[in-house]
Structure 1
Amino acid sequence: MERRTGFTLVELLVVVAIIGVLIGLTLPAVQSVRESARRSECSNNLKQIGLAAQQYHASHGKLPPGNSARTAGVCPGRQVPGVDTPSEDRANWAILLLPYLGQEVLYRSYNHNEPNEAPINKEVRETRVPTYVCPSDRDTNVLTVPAFGPAASWAMNVAYMPGSYRAVSGKSDGQRFLDASMDAEGYPADWRGPIHLVGVYGFVPESFKAVRDGLSNTLMVGESVTKTNPEMRTLWAYSFGHYSLSAVTPQSRVLSGDYAACRAAGGPGAVSPCRRLWGSFHPAGINFLLCDGSVRCYSPEIDVDLLAALATIEGEEVVVAPE
Structure 2
Amino acid sequence: MPLQSLRRRSDANRRGFTLIELLVVIAIIAVLIALLLPAVQSAREAARRAQCVNNLKQIGLALHNYASAQSEAFPWAMGPGSYNGWSAHPMFLPQMEQQALYNSINFANTGAAMWTGNPPNTTSFRIQVAAFLCPSDTDRLTNADGHCNYMMCAGATADEFYYYNTNSANSPQALTGVGRSFGSPYMSKSIPHVKLSMIVDGTSNTAAFSEQVLGVGDDDYALWDSMKPTSANGDASSTKPAYPPNPQADYNVCNSKAPTATSSVKLWSHGYQWYAGAPNIGAYCHVMPPNTWSCTYANNGFAVTASSRHPGVVNVCMADGSVKAVKNSVALNVWWALASMGGGEVISADAL
Output the TM-score relative to the length of structure 1. 0.77
Q: Which residue of 1 aligns with 2:261?
A: none
Q: Distance in 1 between matches of 2:80 and 2:322?
A: 29
Between the two proteins, what is the percent identity of the paired residues? 30
Larger Rg: 2
Deviation at residue 269 of structure 1 after TM alignment: 6.7
Match 1:301 to one of 329, 346, 349: 329
Q: Report if aligned partners of 2:200, 2:341 keep a CA contact under 8 Å in 1.
A: yes
Q: Which residue of 2 aligns with 1:233?
A: 270
- In structure 2, list runs of 5 or more residues that go unmatched: 1-7, 215-229, 233-265
Q: Which residue of 2 aligns with 1:116?
A: 114
Aligned residue pairs total 279
Aligned ranges for residues 118-267 of structure 1 at < 5 Å?
Answer: 118-139=118-139, 142-144=141-143, 160-172=145-157, 174=158, 176-177=159-160, 179-180=161-162, 186=170, 189-198=173-182, 200-202=187-189, 203-225=191-213, 227-229=230-232, 231-234=268-271, 235-249=273-287, 251-252=288-289, 255-258=290-293
Deviation at residue 163 of structure 1 after TM alignment: 1.1
Is 1:42 aligned with 2:72? Answer: no
Deviation at residue 271 of structure 1 after TM alignment: 10
Q: Distance in 1 between matches of 2:156 and 2:138?
A: 27
Q: Report if aligned partners of 2:213, 2:231 keep a CA contact under 8 Å in 1.
A: no
Deviation at residue 238 of structure 1 after TM alignment: 1.8
Is 1:30 aligned with 2:28? Answer: no
Amino acid at match of 1:317: E
Q: Report if aligned partners of 1:65, 1:198 keep a CA contact under 8 Å in 2.
A: yes
Q: Distance in 2 between matches of 1:60 and 1:48?
A: 18
Deviation at residue 293 of structure 1 after TM alignment: 1.3
Is 1:10 aligned with 2:27? Answer: no
- In structure 1, list runs of 5 or more residues that go unmatched: 72-87, 145-158
Deviation at residue 208 of structure 1 after TM alignment: 0.7
Q: Which residue of 2 aligns with 1:52?
A: 62
Output the TM-score relative to the length of structure 2. 0.71
Amino acid at match of 2:179: I
Amino acid at match of 1:133: L
Is 1:104 aligned with 2:81? Answer: no
SS at match of 1:204: coil
Amino acid at match of 1:318: V
Q: Report if aligned partners of 1:170, 1:247 keep a CA contact under 8 Å in 2.
A: yes
